[in-house]
Chains A and B, each alone.
Chain A
Amino acid sequence: MLPERIRDRQAPTEPCTAVAAALPGVVDGSIRLDRADRRHVEQCLRCQAELAQYRKLLRAMQALRTSTAPVPTGLVTDVLAHLEAAGERSAVRAALTGRKVAYLGGIAAATAAAGAGAAIVLVSRGRKGRLPLAG
């Protein structure tokens, strides 16, 4: 039997299949291979090549972070106009909410004043009623 190191790279073995399933996680350290699988990778050119490609893929993905897609004309203007409209709606809502609060506050104050007035009337009537007894 040929040593694993010089086996045909195009013919994945059973361990290759098992290790290959883990390699997408091995590349960023989120999956750790056990000792047997690590030994397999050390001896298997195919798995080594696959792992190297995952590393290359990850580097290429990270490099995409600095590239930007062509932005459609007028996008930023549209976004800012959208925000301005939202800001105006929010200001109108705030103003209406403020008026509502003032209105409710007015009703509450009027109710309180009416209650206080009624209480004074009742108290004064009560005093009038008690006067003859006091004398």
Chain B
Amino acid sequence: MRFADPSTALVDDLVDAARAGDHVAFEELVRRTYADTYTLARRLVSDEEDARDVVQEAYLRAYRSIGRFRGDAQFSTWLYRITANCASTHLGRRRRHRHDELDEEVDVPDTSPDHDPAAMATASLLRDRLEAAIAELPPRLRAVVVLRDIYDLNHAQIAEELGITESAAKVRLHRARRRLRTQVFPLRGEEPLDHEVEDQAHAS
């Protein structure tokens, strides 16, 4: 199928054409989805350069396997799964080299008002606070909560793409939600969780 103007075509038609080998259709799919794909990659790897690499790898894999896309899921969900898998591979590779990615906290700017009064204003919106709290999660917890609660992948899909069991995915999800809740909505008088001790106790 050839499109007179791919920018006006429906996503489903573009996907069908791309599956049949239409490179122009695939390029249009890239143009329509790259911002979302980059956002997911950025949330998973927390580093702009790494996120760029993950996005490139994800589209390359998608390009090579689009012929096998069965269309029983949304194209966006299929792409999220590929991106999650690429991010997981990327982080695993870095962990093997540096031993500090999946199990350690990511070095992010401290935006908590106690430490940075200037950040108080910018972090006043719930969304900003939440994004900051997500970025502070260890990558193995962050990947699960991002894929489940933001991108609505189910436990089986998450487990498959991250190479973990479904029960591990559930445990990580609950721990991630607990951390986010205490970070974003601390109850009055609530002590912050001792994450390091908790991690050692529940390492999975």
> Of the 9-residue stretches B5-13, B36-44, B82-90, which lies at the interface with chain A?
B36-44
Contact A86 B63 (CB under 8 A): yes
Q: Which B30-54 residues have a C-beta within 8 angstroms of A?
A: 30-31, 34-36, 38-39, 42-43, 48, 52
B174 at interface, CB cutoff 8 A: yes
A25, A61, A72: the one within 8 Å of B52 (CB)? A72
Number of A interface residues, CB 8 Å? Answer: 35
Contact B177 A57 (CB under 8 A): yes
Contact A50 B181 (CB under 8 A): yes
- Count class of interface residues, chain B: 35 or more
Q: Provide the bound-state CA to CA distance between A30 and B188, in Å.
A: 27
Contact A83 B174 (CB under 8 A): no
Q: Provide the bound-state CA to CA distance between A86 and B52, in Å.
A: 17
Q: Provide the bound-state CA to CA distance between A60 and B60, in Å.
A: 32
Measured CB to CB, the closest approach of chain A to B130, in angstroms, equals: 5
Q: Is the interface of B mostly helix, strand, loop or mixed?
A: helix
B55 at interface, CB cutoff 8 A: yes
Q: Provide the bound-state CA to CA distance between A68 and B48, in Å.
A: 14
A36 at interface, CB cutoff 8 A: no
B70 at interface, CB cutoff 8 A: no
CB closest residue in chain A, given B38: A71
CB closest residue in chain B, given A9: B188
Measured CB to CB, the closest approach of chain B to A1, in angstroms, equals: 21
A100 at interface, CB cutoff 8 A: no
Q: Known contacts A9-B188, A72-B48; decide if A79 and B181 are in contact (CB<8 Å).
A: no
